[in-house]
Amino acid sequence: MPLRPPSIRFAFAAAALLFAATAALPVEAFAQDRSWPPQYRRDRPQFALEASGALSQLSGNALGPANDGSGFDVMGSIGVSVLSLGGGYQRSTHRLGAGDAIVQGVFFEPRIALPLVARNFTPFVYGRVARLERTSPAELGSDVATGTGVGAGLGTYVWLAPNVQLNTTVGWTDLRFSEGNAVGGSSFVGRANGSSWGVRAGLTLGFDRWGR
């Protein structure tokens, strides 16, 4: 397997440290007045839009000899009490020889807030199911394969202002793609399986009282 670019490894480590630092932030750091009476805290559904940058670290042959990648997610969610249901679009780019392998698709992501809420801090667990398409360089044009991604992880919201949150997540995803040609010169042909660890960080607009 080719060596991964040091810049990607450094960025992945930095993002993981950002997640850990976010989780350890003192609650006073961005404290907001969140003392609503209990009868008003969960009286109606709440909506949110989210955009995040993402880094992924690969294993297995799902993308052949491709390097770790970077990309983004966008998602819309509706939340009631401690449960939220979201869906969106994800895309990542992975260096593969002289070209790039691109993984993109739609996903469904439920989240459950954990009972560790502070004044401006809400941790949560999440699951994700995605329908993906892998486009990789080939001798003539490109090779396209369809597949799935199934994963889970842990995340945090830190409230920066009413209806504005910093979100961070770290999680694992199982990747499976349909039969296709050898990916980027790899000797493997057929169904491709693998996995990835990933970190995300971005902004969420909405969910001012979700999970609290």
Task: Give whole-number Cα distances, 96 to 63, 131, 173, 200, in Å.
Answer: 9, 22, 20, 22
For residue 1, tell me if it sits in a domain.
no
- Tokens at residue 42, please? 């969960």
For residue 212, tell me if it sits in a domain.
no
Indicate the number of domains in the chain.
1
**What φ, ψ does residue 8 adopt, rounded to 5°?**
-70, -45
Task: Give whole-number Cα distances, 46 to 80, 89, 145, in Å.
Answer: 6, 20, 37
pTM: 0.77
How far, in Å, CA of 114 to CA of 117, rounded?
Answer: 7
Summarize pLDDT for 52-108 with one digit per residue, the tens.
999 999 888 888 778 789 999 999 999 998 999 999 999 999 988 778 889 999 999
Of 121, 134, 113, nearest to 194 by C-alpha is 134
For residue 144, tell me if it sits in a domain.
yes
Summarize pLDDT for 28-46 with one digit per residue, the tens.
444 444 444 444 455 588 9
Q: Which domain holds residue 154?
A: 6-206
